[in-house]
Chains A and B, each alone.
Chain A
């Protein structure tokens, strides 16, 4: 399957990439876009349906006011203008998982338009801010979900039969479309990743969606074309779908740049088509050929009245927006006294909200950062999951840090407690209890071990008696080893020096 690729540096030497990102966000409203059905993820198939979301004859849509409010808040947070009057439109095409064979969407009158989101990317010259311009953000409904049974591909072709679950049909979606993103050059993959990451943080901050890429509540389509230079006309683009993690955004773009460049270098034209990203193999494969002439016969939805948010309402929503992520990160950077680069590593690791939550649970900022960016980031990496998907909560991390602060645990023991928490053994204190993890703080127990260490290493003991306190390290190490790391190294050192007259 894998296409010929050329080296990334060579791509950059010969081509200028132009990106476009379409992000679909499933809103976390309690009910669907146009009916009262529940939106719970993972329910039994076809249990969250009614005449309206099944498209039964005679049924009618009614707009979910909370979804409109969420759309406006998203638009405001993305620095968009909000339409004072806009309409829904029908996008007509036939597909079995679309109950009405048209999708109620918005066409030339989106509720939000002309905005931007600034994202920071580490470059060779330091941190650089890229402005990603937003063309529009509009409201629409999701389709049902098809499951093709039989056949080898899981696609409709070759399947024995297909099942459709309409629970997802009618769930409110916001589609956020960027303008063509030019001038990112070799940083295009990173900029795209940073944009989707920043968008995710922003949406989470607004509380409008659970933005889980792996569950499909945030879906990203990547449009990419190459041209020979920034002055050259735009090249033919491909649209890559199924890009379901931040890492995949970067990888898929990198791959698609290399694939397209190889074709172009060979004098082969790019086919305008939809391509699918395969996370496992790290390649994109051809989907259906898409022509610009695909005709959805859009027209204003006659079953709905126009949406006309008042200026007062928009201003009220604006005044209630949470602090924008960029300003928040600047403020936090100052509060925590860390560099821009350090802050960036927190954000890029997807750890900012987790760190903040841990601080809110009582841990101090430095310790919170240390756990999430250190030990926990390593665990997430080992397990191949996003940090937020680790089976440990901010509260548990704060509790763990409290145990360290109280002197009950040291870092080494704390790591063993993390093992237990991740293994589902319970809360940190309970894990420490059940695993018998506790710094030995009983001086008499320590003194016994110290005296054994002195006896075992008389040379070191003599050096200390002679005033060379640096030699204490060897004895402290021996004691720590003897106590299997459960001693407080500081206290051991004090006692060693005291025993040897220092």
Chain B
């Protein structure tokens, strides 16, 4: 059975298709693994055992009847609890949505179902995806499988930890300022933020509409690319969805050819505040790419230094409006509705009781930034910075095909270490924020262990709709390191 939980998605799909193993057996193996380790990891908020086995049976039936299968048919997956799945509790990590069972499927979920992917359950996250450590979940923190005292990153910490702890070979996360890439980096797996608009946001409980993007996690680059290709593509229900064909991410991941590619190293994403071990692994990765024939060019992106400030105005502004609908009127929590209080007071009490401190902090920040008289100085100014960051990217594309940097400045910190210092917490996303504000694709791939023997990731960023390029580079790094290590970085983790 342990072979099944350690297998890649590609291997599992092949074994299911050739009937070496049934989808039900694969699903059961992962459900057993969850039962065994999740008490310690807390990656899942809800395990849908019956639903998963039912989906698995449907795949087995399709196999038996000789139907054509999608490349991921029967492969289990962990779904971040910010995407709606009909009838399955969806909390977005918040008390305010406790008990809500959505009446509809997110487009991502619909596509997963259509591809025969087996959804094991919903994963833990920072409340409404606001955070970098999953400590802001109303349902307790998720623990990093590499060291249970450490954070798994966030906000998609549950999804990353599930993949890293072999509870699922695949997971879906969402990335608003780094919430896929940063957890992937610190749990030693692969995570990609597709181009903004490449994956439908329909059914994604919004944090910041202009930044939110769902994306794949897996233990290998090819698995990640396969999941990317399943969930991406135009959706008429999302007005910001891009009407272009999905780039051939799977082909690029398989080719791993970076010879003659021009790779830019972002000068501003290094130096002070970057752990020596992180910087050392990054420098080694650069040399690996050079050795494979890539041209390495140093690039300056001066506006990247303002990304943190711009992000923490734009995202809270949008969230202050997006989260207004949580008002006790139509779904979720309702507090103190005793027949005495007015509707307004019930709204007030419910929001006071239902939202956690970080969510309240951002709603207050955003409400202030959008206020008349402050709008231009805050929200308006932040949008101008966003434009400047986009220009830095566009200027870079004149001389390079992709940009690279460490994914995070540090290795994962200890649970509780930064909870009282929001700005220190926000800095975990320093490297990932620029491409979120720009809207281009980016990926994180493991490149070794840092000073504290914990995972370090490499971030690859590419032009809008050049998602294939990030997979190509990540795959080249993965291949070269696999030769050194004789496998994946994750193989070096202590077994749970």
Residues of A within 8 A of B (CB): 51, 54-63, 90, 92, 94, 96, 99-102, 156, 162, 164, 293, 295, 297-299, 302-305
Complex interface bits, B59-100 against A, C-beta within 8 A gives 1, otherwise 0: 000000000000000000000000110000010100001001
Q: Given B83, B239, B321, B347, which contacts A297 in the complex, CB threshold below 8 Å? A: B321
Report the Cα distance A102→B320, complex, angstroms: 11
Q: What are some 27 contacts across the A-B interface (CB < 8 A)?
A: A51-B102, A51-B103, A54-B330, A55-B325, A57-B90, A57-B331, A58-B84, A58-B102, A60-B202, A60-B239, A61-B239, A62-B237, A90-B321, A94-B324, A100-B325, A101-B327, A102-B324, A162-B343, A295-B372, A297-B371, A297-B372, A297-B375, A302-B210, A303-B206, A304-B239, A304-B240, A305-B239
Contacts of A59 in B (CB 8 A): 104, 202-203
Chain B residue at minimal CB-CB distance from A100: B325
In contact, B102 and A101 (Cβ under 8 angstroms): no
Tell me whether B324 and A299 are in contact (CB under 8 A). Answer: no
Q: Are A293 and B372 in contact (CB under 8 A)?
A: yes
Chain A residues whose CB sits within 8 angstroms of the CB of B327 once the complex forms: 94, 96, 101
Query: Which residues does chain B contribute within 8 Å of A63, judged by CB atoms?
Result: 239
A-B contact sample (18 more), CB < 8 A, given A92-B324, A99-B330, A297-B370: A51-B103, A55-B325, A56-B104, A57-B100, A58-B84, A58-B102, A58-B106, A62-B237, A96-B329, A96-B343, A100-B325, A102-B321, A156-B343, A297-B321, A297-B375, A302-B208, A304-B240, A305-B240
Is residue B302 contacting chain A, with contact meaning CB distance below 8 A?
no
Contact call B371/A55, Cβ cutoff below 8 A:
no
Judge whether B236 is part of the interface by a CB distance below 8 angstroms. yes
Provide the bound-state CA to CA distance between A54 and B330, in Å.
8
A residues near B371, Cβ cutoff 8 Å: 295, 297
Q: Which residues of B contact A162 (CB under 8 A)?
A: 343
Closest 10 pairs (CB-CB, A-B): A101-B324, A302-B209, A297-B370, A302-B210, A57-B205, A58-B203, A55-B325, A58-B84, A295-B372, A100-B325
Chain B contacts for A100, CB-based, 8 A: 324-325
**Interface residue ranges of B365-382 to A (CB < 8 Å):** 367, 370-372, 375, 379
Which residues of the partner chain B approach A92 to less than 8 Å between Cβ atoms?
320-321, 324, 370
Taken together as a complex, chains A and B put the C-alpha atoms of A154 and B239 apart, in Å, by 39
Q: Cβ of B375: which chain A residues have Cβ within 8 Å of it?
A: 297, 299
**Is the Cβ of B204 less than 8 Å from the Cβ of A58?**
yes
- What is the minimal beta-carbon distance from A299 to any residue of chain B, in angstroms? 6
Report the separation of the CA atoms of residues A59 and B330 in the bound assembly, to the nearest whole angstrom: 14
B317 adjacent to chain A (CB < 8 Å):
yes
Q: How far is the CB of A19 from chain B (nearest CB, A)?
A: 26
Which interface class (under 10, 10 to 19, 20 to 34, 35 or more) fits B?
A: 35 or more
Interface residue B238 (Cβ < 8 Å from any Cβ of A): yes
User: Considering only CB atoms, which chain B residue lies closest to A88 in the complex?
Assistant: B239
- Chain B positions within 8 Å of A, measured between CB atoms, are 83-84, 90, 92, 97, 100, 102-104, 106, 201-206, 208-210, 236-240, 317-318, 320-321, 324-327, 329-331, 342-344, 347, 367, 370-372, 375, 379
Q: Is the CB of B83 within 8 A of A60?
A: no
A58-B205, A297-B367 are known contacts. Are A101 and B325 too (CB-CB below 8 A)? yes
Q: How far is B237's CA from A62's CA once the two chains are assembled, in angstroms?
A: 6
A156–B346 alpha-carbon span in the complex (Å) = 14
Closest CB in chain B relative to A158 CB, distance in Å: 11
Closest to B327 in A: A101
Compute how far the CA of A295 lies from the CA of B368 in the bound complex, rounded to whole angstroms: 11
Most-contacted residue by chain A among B90, B102, B104, B239 (CB, 10 A): B239
Which of chain A's residues has its CB closest to B204's CB?
A58
Q: Determine chain B's interface SS by DSSP, over half rule.
A: loop
Evaluate contact between A60 and B90: CB separation under 8 angstroms.
no
Whether B92 pairs with A57 at a CB distance below 8 angstroms is yes
- Least Cβ distance of B45 to chain A in Å? 15
Q: Looking across the interface, which residue of chain A has its beta carbon closest to that of B92?
A: A57
Partner of B239, one of A51, A58, A62, A96: A62
Do B343 and A299 have beta carbons less than 8 Å apart?
no
In the assembly, what is the distance between CA of A297 and CA of B83, in Å? 28
CB distance from B62 to the nearest CB of A (A): 29
Assuming the contacts A56-B102, A58-B84, A302-B210, asked whether A94 and B202 have C-beta atoms less than 8 A apart, the reply is no
B202 touches A99 (CB 8 A): no
- List residues of chain A with CB within 8 A of the CB of B90: 57-58
B372 surroundings in chain A (CB, below 8 A): 293, 295, 297
Question: Complex Cα distance A96/B332, Å?
Answer: 15
Contact status of A299 and B370, CB under 8 A, knowing A90-B321, A164-B329: yes
Shortest distance from the beta carbon of B240 to any chain A beta carbon, whole Å: 6
Partner of A57, one of B237, B325, B344, B370: B325
In the assembled complex, which residues on chain B have CB atoms less than 8 Å from the CB atom of A62? 236-239
CB distance from A68 to the nearest CB of B (A): 13
Q: What is the minimal beta-carbon distance from A465 to any residue of chain B, in angstroms?
A: 89
The distance in angstroms between the C-alpha atoms of A102 and B205, with both chains bound, is: 16
**Nearest chain B residue, comparing its CB with the CB of A292:** B372
A298 to B380, CA, bound (A): 12
Closest B residue to A303 by beta carbon equals: B209
Q: Which residues of A contact B325 (CB under 8 A)?
A: 55, 57, 99-101
- With A and B bound together, what is the CA distance between A302 and B370 in angstroms? 14
CB distance from A295 to the nearest CB of B (A): 5
Residue of B nearest to A54 (CB): B330
Least CB distance from B86 to A in Å reads: 11
Using Cβ atoms and an 8 Å threshold, which residues of chain B touch A299?
317-318, 321, 370, 375, 379
A63 to B236 Cα, complex, angstroms: 11
Do B97 and A57 touch (CB < 8 A)?
Answer: yes
| In the complex, chain A residues whose CB is within 8 Å of the CB of B210 | 302
Collect the chain B residues with CB atoms within 8 Å of residue A55's CB. 325, 330
With both chains docked as a complex, state the minimum distance between the C-beta of A305 and any C-beta of chain B, in angstroms. Answer: 5
How far, in Å, is B379 (CB) from chain A's closest CB?
6
Instruction: Give the residue name and chain of the A residue nearest to B201 (CB).
Output: A60
The distance from the CB of A127 to the nearest CB of chain B, in whole angstroms, is 44
Chain A, residue nearest B210 (CB): A302
B-chain residues with CB within 8 Å of residue A54 when the two chains form the complex: 330
User: In whole angstroms, what is the CA distance A59 to B97 when docked?
Assistant: 15
Min C-beta distance of A56 to chain B, whole Å: 7
Chain A nearest CB, measured from B442 CB (Å): 20
CA distance A63 to B239 in the complex (A): 8
Chain B hits for A302, CB < 8 A? 208-210, 240, 318
Closest to B94 in A: A57
Which residues on the A side are within 8 Å of B240 (C-beta)? 302-305
CB A86 to nearest CB in B, in angstroms, measures 15
> Which residues on A sit within 8 Å (CB–CB) of B209?
302-303
Chain A residues, Cβ within 8 Å of B208: 302
Bound Cα distance from A61 to B237, whole angstroms: 7
A61 to B202, CA, bound (A): 9
Cβ–Cβ < 8 Å partners of B83 in chain A = 58
**What residues of chain B lie closer than 8 Å to A56, measured between beta carbons?**
102-104, 330-331
A293: which B residues are within 8 A, CB to CB? 372
Q: Which residues of B contact A60 (CB under 8 A)?
A: 201-202, 237-239
A259–B209 Cα distance when bound, in Å, is 48
Contacts of A164 in B (CB 8 A): 329
Question: Do residues A94 and B344 form an inter-chain contact, with CB atoms below 8 A?
Answer: yes
Q: Smallest distance from the beta carbon of B49 to chain A beta carbons, Å?
A: 24
How many Å from the CB of B317 to the closest CB on chain A?
Answer: 6
Look across to chain B and name the residue whose beta carbon is closest to the beta carbon of A61: B239
List, in ascending order, chain B residues with CB within 8 A of A90's CB: 321
Across the interface, which residues of A come within 8 angstroms of B321, CB to CB?
Answer: 90, 92, 102, 297, 299
In the assembled complex, the CB of B201 is this many whole angstroms from the nearest CB of chain A, namely 6
Question: Complex formed: what's the CA distance from A302 to B383 in Å?
Answer: 12
For the complex, give the distance between the alpha carbons of A125 and B92 in Å.
69
Q: Which residues of A contact B331 (CB under 8 A)?
A: 56-57
Residues of B within 8 A of A101 (CB): 324-325, 327
Q: How far is the CA of A15 from the CA of B103 in the complex (A)?
A: 59
CA distance A92 to B90 in the complex (A): 25
Chain B residues near A99 (CB, 8 Å)?
325, 330
Q: What residues on B are CB-neighbors of A58 within 8 Å?
A: 83-84, 90, 102, 104, 106, 202-206
A295: chain B residues at CB < 8 Å are 371-372
Inter-chain contacts of B370 with A (CB < 8 A): 92, 297-299
